[in-house]
Amino acid sequence: MTVYKIGEEHFMIVTSSGPRKTTAVWIAEHSRGASAYINDVTGSIALISVQVPRSRELLSSAIEGVDFAGLRFF
């Protein structure tokens, strides 16, 4: 699971695709009473995950005009 802070009080949680529905239910159940709301936006976004030791090199060869040298882990 990866949690992204996308605003002062807004977060995006990315889980593996296999147990997505089970995980969404678990998160919704555990957020009750926490003044939080949950939106499953799986159908409206896409995530490309490049996870190889030479990912900067791979991305640089595929995408022009972006400096990937300063890209940190995650």
pLDDT value, residue 7? 93
**What does the pLDDT average to over 1-19?**
87
Higher-pLDDT residue of 69, 10: 10
pLDDT in tens, 12-56: 888 877 788 888 888 889 888 888 888 888 888 887 778 888 888
pLDDT value, residue 74? 64
> What are 47's two structure tokens?
């995530």
**What does the pLDDT average to over 47-72?**
85
Alpha carbon of 39 to those of 5, 11, 52, 71: distances in Å?
15, 11, 30, 29
